[in-house]
Amino acid sequence: MLDTALKIIREEGADRLTLGHLAARAGVSKPVAYDHFGTRSGLLIELYRNIDTTRVRAFQDAMAAQDHSVEKTARALADAYITCAADTTDEFHAVGAALAGSEEKAAVFQELLDQNVDMFVTVLMPHSSLAPSELVRRCVGLVGAGEALSAALLRHAYSEAAAVETFAALIEGGLSMFSRRP
C-alpha cells in the first residue's frame, strides 16, 4: 500500500492521499486501509519513515560498496544530505508538508534525525579512532549542522553548492580531529 500511496502523491499530489482513495487505488477495502494505518496521519507518518529509510539504506549501501578516503566520504555525506534537503519537489517534502502541524510529526522528525546520526556514525566509523560514544556525539553535532545549513538553503541564504562545500568542510574538519589516515 505504501507504493500505491507514493504513486498517488506523484500523480495527484499529497492532498489527494486519503485512506479511502488509497484503498480504492490499492484494490483493498477501506477497513483494510484503516486497520493498517489507523488515520491519514498514520499513513503519512509510515510513508515519511519509509522514504527516509529507503534513502538512508541506499546511501549506506553506496558508501559500503567502495573504499572512500576521508575527503570523499565527507563530500559524499554533505552532498547527499544537502541535495536531499534542496529537493523540495519530491515525495518526502510533500509528505512532510502534509504532516505539518501534526503532533506526531515532531516525534517522527526526531526519529529520522536519530536515523541520520546512525547513518553518519556507520559511514564515519572506518575513519574514526574515537570511542563509539564520542563518535555518536560528534555525529549529532554534524547532523545538527546539516539541518541548519539545509534550513538556510531553503531560505535562499546560500546556494546549494555553497551549502554542500561548507558542510563537507565541517565534516572533514571534524574527521581530521579523529581520523585514522593511512
- Residue ranges covered by each domain of the chain: 67-176
Span 6-53, pLDDT tens digits: 899 889 988 899 999 999 999 999 999 999 999 998 999 898 888 888
Report the alpha-carbon distance of residue 70 to residue 88 in Å, rounded.
Answer: 29
The pLDDT score that the predictor gives to residue 56 is 81
The pLDDT score that the predictor gives to residue 165 is 96
